[in-house]
């Protein structure tokens, strides 16, 4: 096909900035002036992706036709021999998302139209309520319900532990942004203390909010399969939308054990890089929601394939939406989410901070807990390089976790 635009790739820029938190952003520029942007942020490993992109990926793409998304995806995946992996797949994702953005602009259509059009009016989201006590968590949840959210993830500090996942305490920034020693920061874990306290959170939530609202919870991969099975059974009366990351599933059949024991719906996938990481989970129907993110699992091209495969097995997509995913990732997932027939729900923690809003713009709006996707061509996102230059990279690590006796545990 002869395009009316010359989409020969002439320049690719990799920008690492920290407008409130670190982001790795890719900008692909074509001969006719159309450009696209992609997100390559791997939290705590930002410079590794940036170096991989600059040294090994972008030089191969100069001179290529930006329309050839599929061939470029295959070239960077199959063509590279060293397949998969978080750094590689984030780099592929950034290229892929930027190319979809360009294709949409060249066609003068939003990306969701290129995927097949809208399957729904807007995208359902769930927000986070994380507190230092049950009352604190539930007060925050109540405020979110008052804003119009109908689904909220509940997390509470584990009593008797000095720090817990996601609980900020007096820290102003997101939990991994800190300069304390040792690096990375450390958090304690006790499965017994957690299991003894978690049911109360959901019991109180249901008695305070009733049965209309949807509740979720992220275990953050701290349990063994049989412990997770017990937790799933324990939480059945409180009717969770899903229980997230109950177990780290390097062994995908760990989920068979959980599934055998409980009807609590299960979700996993935020750290997965490819469809291969979740193939058995999906085809065996051991999970209900697949949480792969465009940025970490190979972009729109890859997530579309995961979504179509998952649909065959009644698995819905519920992409990761933490603050380390940039507004570009949110936009890509919003376009996927408004299209995918088997879209479930989008994790949502806000479109960004005041600082990140100086750097990123996007054509998404939130009303009553639903994301509406605008009809700008491409992904409707932009990245202001001058504004980003004011916020240099700031080294930061995710915490590590240890049992109370010092044993290293999954964070």
Task: Pick between residue 48 and residue 109 the one whose CB is nearest to ligand EZ4.
Answer: 48
Residue 378: name the closest of 2, 19, 7, 77 by CA. Answer: 7
Q: What is the distance between the alpha carbons of residues 327 and 330, in angstroms, rounded to a whole number?
A: 5
Residue number of the CB closest to ligand EZ4 reads 322
Report how far apart, in Å, the C-alpha atoms of 63 and of each of 99, 214, 301 are: 14, 49, 21
User: Percentage helix, strand, coil, to 5, in the chain?
Assistant: 40, 20, 40
Buried/exposed code over 39-72 (b: 16+ C-beta within 10 A; e: otherwise):
bbbbbbbbeebbebbeeebbeebeebbbbebeeb
Q: What's the DSSP call for residue 164? A: -
Contact 66, 7 (CB under 8 A): yes
Is residue 46 close enough to count as binding Co ion by CB under 5 A? no
Contact 223, 250 (CB under 8 A): no
Is residue 349 close enough to count as binding ligand EZ4 by CB under 6 A? no
Build a one-symbol-per-residue string for 263-282: x at contacts with Co ion by CB under 5 A, - elsewhere. Answer: -------x------------
Is residue 227 close enough to count as binding ligand EZ4 by CB under 6 A? no
**Interaxial angle between packed helices 191-209 and 225-235, expressed in degrees from 0 to 180 and rounded to the nearest 10:** 20
Among 61, 161, 234, 322, binds ligand EZ4 (CB under 6 A): 322
Tell me, yes or no, if 165 is annotated catalytic. yes
Site stretch for ligand EZ4 (CB under 6 A), options 88-96, 225-233, 319-327, 328-336: 319-327
Q: Which residues, numbered 256-295, are part of the site for ligand EZ4 (CB under 6 A)? A: 270
Residue 63: name the closest of 11, 26, 128 by CA. Answer: 11
Tell me, yes or no, if 52 is annotated catalytic. no
Site stretch for Co ion (CB under 5 A), options 90-98, 211-219, 372-380, 392-400: 211-219
**Strand (E) or helix (H) holding 87:** helix 86-107
Is residue 398 close enough to count as binding ligand EZ4 by CB under 6 A? yes
Task: Pick between residue 119 and residue 177 the one whose CB is nearest to ligand EZ4.
Answer: 177
Q: Which of the residues 35, 52, 126, 165 is marked catalytic?
A: 165
Given phi > 0 = left and psi -120 to 50 = alpha, else beta, which region is 369? left
Is residue 324 close enough to count as binding Co ion by CB under 5 A? no
Is residue 48 close enough to count as binding ligand EZ4 by CB under 6 A? no
Among 324, 334, 348, 378, binds ligand EZ4 (CB under 6 A): 324
What tokens appear for 50 in the block?
A: 């940036």
Q: What is the distance between the alpha carbons of residues 220 and 242, in angstroms, rounded to a whole number?
A: 13
Task: Pick between residue 117 and residue 169 the one whose CB is nearest to ligand EZ4.
Answer: 169
**Interaxial angle between packed helices 299-311 and 327-339, expressed in degrees from 0 to 180 and rounded to the nearest 10:** 30
Task: Pick between residue 101 and residue 347 the one whose CB is nearest to Co ion.
Answer: 347
Q: What's the DSSP call for residue 191? A: H
How many residues belong to the site for ligand EZ4 (CB under 6 A)?
A: 9
Q: Which does 96 bind (CB under 5 to 8 A by kind): ligand EZ4, Co ion, none?
A: none
Q: Which does 43 bind (CB under 5 to 8 A by kind): Co ion, ligand EZ4, none?
A: ligand EZ4
Q: Tokens 């994790």 appear where?
A: 347
Q: Which does 324 bind (CB under 5 to 8 A by kind): Co ion, ligand EZ4, none?
A: ligand EZ4
Question: What is the contact surface with ligand EZ4 in residues (CB under 6 A)?
Answer: 43, 218, 220, 270, 320, 322, 324, 347, 398
Residues annotated as catalytic (active site), given as ranges: 165, 220
């Amino acid at each position: 096909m002869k395009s009316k635009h010359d989409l020969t790739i002439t320049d690719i820029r990799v920008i690492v900035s920290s407008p409130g938190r670190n982001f790795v952003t890719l900008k692909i520029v074509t001969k006719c002036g159309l450009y696209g942007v992609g997100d390559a942020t791997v939290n705590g490993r930002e410079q590794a992706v940036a170096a991989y992109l600059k040294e090994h990926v972008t030089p191969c793409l100069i001179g290529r036709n930006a329309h050839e998304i599929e061939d470029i995806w295959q070239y960077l995946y199959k063509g590279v021999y060293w397949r998969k992996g978080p750094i590689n797949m984030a780099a592929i994702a950034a290229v892929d998302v930027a190319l979809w953005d360009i294709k949409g602009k060249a066609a003068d259509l939003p990306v969701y139209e290129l995927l097949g059009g809208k399957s729904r009016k807007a995208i359902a989201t769930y927000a986070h309520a994380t507190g230092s006590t049950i009352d604190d968590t539930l007060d925050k949840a109540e405020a979110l319900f008052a804003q119009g959210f109908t689904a909220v993830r509940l997390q509470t500090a584990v009593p008797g532990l000095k720090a817990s996942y996601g609980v900020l305490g007096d820290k102003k920034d997101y939990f991994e942004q800190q300069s304390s020693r040792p690096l990375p920061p450390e958090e304690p874990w006790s499965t017994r203390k957690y299991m003894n306290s978690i049911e109360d959170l959901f019991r109180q939530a249901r008695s305070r909010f009733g049965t209309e609202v949807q509740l979720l919870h992220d275990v953050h991969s701290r349990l063994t399969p049989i412990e997770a099975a017990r937790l799933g059974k324990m939480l059945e009366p409180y009717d969770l939308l899903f229980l997230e990351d109950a177990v780290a599933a390097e062994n995908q059949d760990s989920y068979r054990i959980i599934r055998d024991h409980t009807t609590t719906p299960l979700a996993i996938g935020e750290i997965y890089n490819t469809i291969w990481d979740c193939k058995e989970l999906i085809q065996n129907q051991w999970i209900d929601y697949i949480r792969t993110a465009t940025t970490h699992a190979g972009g729109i091209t890859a997530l579309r394939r995961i979504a179509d495969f998952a649909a065959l097995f009644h698995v819905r997509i519920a992409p990761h939406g933490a603050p380390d995913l940039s507004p570009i990732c949110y936009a890509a997932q919003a376009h996927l989410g408004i299209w995918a027939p088997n879209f479930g729900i989008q994790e949502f923690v806000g479109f960004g901070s005041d600082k990140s809003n100086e750097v990123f713009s996007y054509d998404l709006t939130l009303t009553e807990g639903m994301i509406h996707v605008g009809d700008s061509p491409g992904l409707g996102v932009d990245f202001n390089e001058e504004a980003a230059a004011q916020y240099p990279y700031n080294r930061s690590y995710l915490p590590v976790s240890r049992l109370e006796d010092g044993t290293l545990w999954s964070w």
